[in-house]
Structure 1
Amino acid sequence: MFLHIILEIILRNSFDTSTFVLDEFVGYAVASLAFLALGETFHKRALIEVTILKDNFSKRNRLFFELFSNLACSVIGSILFYYIGRSVINHFYRGTVSSSVAEVPQFIPEGLLLIGVFVFLLRVFESLWINISLLIVKEY
């Protein structure tokens, strides 16, 4: 992406032309990187949390709160996975391409989003499993 931006700068300043696809590729890259980073960010607990409620709970109630939050995340993430997956399949079978000069098959960037949501769901299910096991063995 860096080299593409440098190429674009050189083409625009020196030759008064462009590759005409830089903004499209940067958009794909930003969206893909954001979704692919979701799972690891969730695992490292680096997502923004509203701790005003959570800090006032006892350890047991905090565990229930996290369990509920993980369940809500898994439901919303599963819905997102379903709809992005449907879109990827539709784009693949229809052969949908972007309207730019590059004619990028749309299932490729959306497929990266789907992989990112899948990794996020795996991390949420991992956290859900850990919280349930802590509840069962009562280590709170």
Structure 2
Amino acid sequence: MRLLLRAIDALSWFALMCAGAILIYAVSHILLETVMRTLFDTSTHVLDEFIGFAVLSITFLSLSWTLRDGGMIQVNLLTLRLPLRVKQTVEFIVAACATGLGAYFCTFLWRNLIKNWKRGAVSESVAEVPLWIPDAIVFAGACLLVLQLSALTIRPFISKIQEG
């Protein structure tokens, strides 16, 4: 079980590194576009679309590590005042529900990905990017989030087993 948790963490870390690489690409593209427009009065003509895809990719690829690292915003106004056992139970229930809802959301992402793949749908820009590519990145990020949420639900039990 610990090996599975480590694998989920490793995949989440890899996705975070991919998000970082995409961020570097996005900044580079913006700088290139600025230079091209300013000095050469021309454009790549795909900046808006590619930066939109980049922001979407960065967001979804970084979600699972952000959750793992404790960086997600938590509204804990009520749980701060609860006894430890009750707080842990509430957190377990919330994580389990979020896992289920996330998995359900992934089914819609998967359907959209397959639909765009089968239809050969492309973006409406000059680049005509196959839409399954950003769909696949979003789907992968959402699945990693679901895996990390499921790991969040079982981690407390694994630490209790190790203690006992």
TM-score above 0.5: yes
1:110 aligns to 2:150 (yes or no): no
Shift of 1:14: 2.5
1:99 aligns to 2:124 (yes or no): yes
List aligned pairs for 1:18-37, cutoff 5 A: 18-37=43-62
List aligned pairs for 1:77-96, cutoff 5 A: 77-96=102-121
SS of residue in 1 equivalent to 2:78 = helix
Q: Which amino acid aligns with 2:146?
A: L
- Residues of 2 paired with 1:99 and 1:51: CA distance? 43
Q: Find 1:40's aligned residue among 62, 65, 78.
A: 65
Q: Find 2:77's aligned residue among 52, 61, 66.
A: 52
With the length of structure 2 as denominator, give the TM-score of the two structures: 0.78
Is the Cα contact below 8 Å between 1:67 and 1:132 reproduced in 2?
no
1:76 aligns to 2:101 (yes or no): yes
- 1:62 maps to 87
- Residues of 1 paired with 2:151 and 2:89: CA distance? 16
Is the Cα contact below 8 Å between 1:97 and 1:106 reproduced in 2?
yes
Q: Which amino acid aligns with 1:59?
A: L
Segments of 5+ residues of structure 2 without an aligned counterpart are 1-25
Is the Cα contact below 8 Å between 1:66 and 1:131 reproduced in 2?
no
Q: Could you list the runs of 4 or more consecutive aligned residues of structure 1 that deviate by over 6 angstroms after TM superposition?
A: none
SS of residue in 2 equivalent to 1:52 = coil
Q: Find 1:120's aligned residue among 136, 145, 152.
A: 145
Is the Cα contact below 8 Å between 1:8 and 1:22 reproduced in 2?
yes
Q: Which amino acid aligns with 1:113?
A: V
- Residues of 1 paired with 2:157 and 2:94: CA distance? 13
SS of residue in 2 equivalent to 1:51 = coil
- 2:14 maps to none
Shift of 1:87: 0.4
Counting matched residue pairs gives 137
Q: Which amino acid aligns with 1:95?
A: G
Q: Which amino acid aligns with 2:57?
A: S
Higher helix share: 2
- Residues of 2 paired with 1:10 and 1:130: CA distance? 49
Q: What's the % identity of the aligned pairs? A: 34
- Residues of 2 paired with 1:34 and 1:7: CA distance? 23
